[in-house]
Structure 1
């Protein structure tokens, strides 16, 4: 099937959404693996890190499924919503900063995605 001729279905968009959410889960688990690790090797072999890396792999496969019909010019910028989600979840789960710079960044990311999907 020619990628240019493919028409995105709800399944493709669900695969993209799942890729984003699974990637966010992977990122948060990598952060958990880093917390309290004695060093990089210790961090690498903590269960949080191993599962986090596995989730990143799963997210890549879901993203590939989405790319079968969603143009990369839409799909790849959409993944940036994961940055906004990680900022907010980092605040709630790890007590990380959520000041004006982060809030403005999240608002800009979300605004950009809205523009992308309205265009």
Structure 2
């Protein structure tokens, strides 16, 4: 596996980890009847949301290194691999439902990524 592909994979994993961490944090904050800005501030002050934002920012930095080396038309579809990671972690950590429609949709995404990766 080439260095560029490893950078893409690392960026995708960091981004997916960031999404999951932010979701975890939002689930830990009690919903109040206050305004949207107050609720957003509560989320932003939770350690898990902050961790998620940091992971997401790190993902963007690694992504810059990756796209400096490969075609964007090759690299960007690989971001869809993050859908698989988030899908599986959401099912496992948050017990989110997995319908057959979601599973088929995810399979279509995976097939698309496999086709692009062969080019």
TM-score category, normalised to shorter length: 0.7 to 0.9
Aligned residue in 2 for 1:74: 74
Paired position in structure 2 for 1:37? 29
The separation in 2 between residues aligned to 1:23 and 1:76, in whole angstroms, is 13
Aligned twin of 2:64: 64
Contact 1:23 1:55 in 2 (8 A): yes
Larger proportion of helix: 2
Number of the residue aligned with 1:54: 54
Please report the RMSD computed on the Cα atoms of aligned residues, expressed in angstroms.
1.2
Shift of 1:40: 2.2
Aligned to 2:88: 88
Asked if structure 2 preserves the Cα contact closer than 8 Å seen for 1:88 and 1:98, the reply is no
Alignment correspondent of 2:9: 17
What CA distance in whole angstroms lies between the structure 1 residues aligned with 2:52 and 2:107? 27
Q: Secondary structure at the match of 1:35?
A: helix
State the 1:36 CA deviation: 3.0
Q: With structure 2 as the length reference, what TM-score do the two structures score?
A: 0.88
Quote the Cα distance in structure 2 between the aligned partners of 1:32 and 1:116: 32
Structure 1 unmatched runs, 5+: 1-8
TM-score of the aligned structures, taking structure 1 as reference length:
0.88
Greater relative contact order structure (CA < 8 Å, 6+ sep)? 2
Gaps of 5+ in 2: 31-38
